Amino acid sequence: MCEFDIILGFLATIHDTTSEVPSIHNQPIVSEFPDVFPDELPGIPPVREVEFNIELIPGSEPISKAPYRMALIELKELKDQLQELLKRGFIRPSVLPWGAPVLFVKKKDGSMRLCID
């Protein structure tokens, strides 16, 4: 290949919408080990003995990027989901200058899934 060759690729996903999605609760192994498959997750996993750092170049700053635009209904959903995640202990407040934009993807049932970009 030379440096000017172009490669095109296409990705297709096919979903079978005619079959029902099996429930996790109908699986024999789930009822055999209920302590491994709780109905509700307890919260953030415990602190482990693994330390992780990202060493920054001195003087580096976060890249300023505008958040994704959201409709009013999405902003309300974002607030509701963040409050629920805070209440359950899955997230905690932060005032760091680093962050990630969020967006919503509509699920099959019409509810919205929070996605971090």
Residue 72 lies in a domain: yes
How many domains would you assign to the chain?
1
Residue 107 lies in a domain: yes
pLDDT averaged over the chain? 78
Q: What pTM was estimated for this model as a whole?
A: 0.53
Q: Residue 11 pLDDT > 80, yes or no? A: no
Using the CB atoms, write b or e for 63-91: b if 16+ within 10 Å.
eeeeeeeeeeebeebbeebeeeeeeeeee
Residue 52 lies in a domain: no
Higher pLDDT, 4 or 100: 100
Residue 53 lies in a domain: no
Residue 25 lies in a domain: no
Using the CB atoms, write b or e for 7-25: b if 16+ within 10 Å.
eeeeeeeeeeeeeeeeeee
Q: Residue 79 pLDDT > 90, yes or no? A: yes
Res. 65 pLDDT band, cuts 50 70 90? confident
Residue 51 lies in a domain: no
The CATH number of residue 84's host domain is: 3.10.10.10
DSSP letters, 96-116, are: -S----EEEEE-TTS-EEEEE
Write out the residue range of the structural domain in which residue 107 sits: 65-90+98-117
User: Mean pLDDT across the stretch 30-54?
Assistant: 77
